[in-house]
Amino acid sequence: MITQKYHTARSILTACVFVGWAFIGVGALMAIIGLNGDGYFLAPGITTAVSGVFLVVVCHVAFAIFDQAESSHATLHVMKLIAEKQGVDLSSMVEVPAPSAGITIKPSSEETSIVSNVVMREDGAMVREYKGREIVKIDKIYYVDETQFATLGKAQLAISQGKV
């Protein structure tokens, strides 16, 4: 389900990994020659090999970042599918702003908060108000008046569309 993106960047990183491994090999060879000879190649060999190790590590970290970005895209897609299946109208949600310090995401003005308006009755039912109508949850079923709904999103959609 997760498709690979960032093909150009991944190709460049793959080339950099091969260069890093080449640096490690050349550096190790130079260090071995330096050990057997007059020691002139020992320090540059070790430095070259260590540089190669760092290049390989940084490239693998970049691969992990790309994998995480792709996983986040797939998760967002699945979350949208779930919301659609439950009847949640995503067009009424607030657009998510670009990441910035001090921004909090709140429901749009016509959406009521899902968590803040829940009241527990003595019989164990959860009652919440949505657009002036009560939605009652008993066990795993949501009720608006006498109409039953499998999910909260479907109950809210029916209220929004005036079906109940």
| Full-model pTM | 0.52
* Alpha helix ranges (H) inside 37-151: 42-85
pLDDT score, position 39: 86
Q: Which residue has the tokens 């599918």?
A: 81
pLDDT at 126: 87
Look-up of token digits 């993106």: 5
pLDDT in tens, 12-40: 999 999 999 999 999 999 999 999 888 89
Q: How far apart are CA 107 and CA 99, in angstroms?
A: 17
Return d(Cα 32, Cα 21) in angstroms, integer: 16
Q: Which amino acid is it at 74?
A: A
DSSP letter (8 states) at residue 162:
T
Sequential pLDDT tens for the chain (164 residues):
566 788 899 999 999 999 999 999 999 999 999 998 888 999 999 999 999 999 999 999 999 999 999 899 889 888 888 887 777 766 656 555 555 555 554 544 444 444 457 888 888 888 998 888 999 998 888 999 889 999 888 999 999 998 88
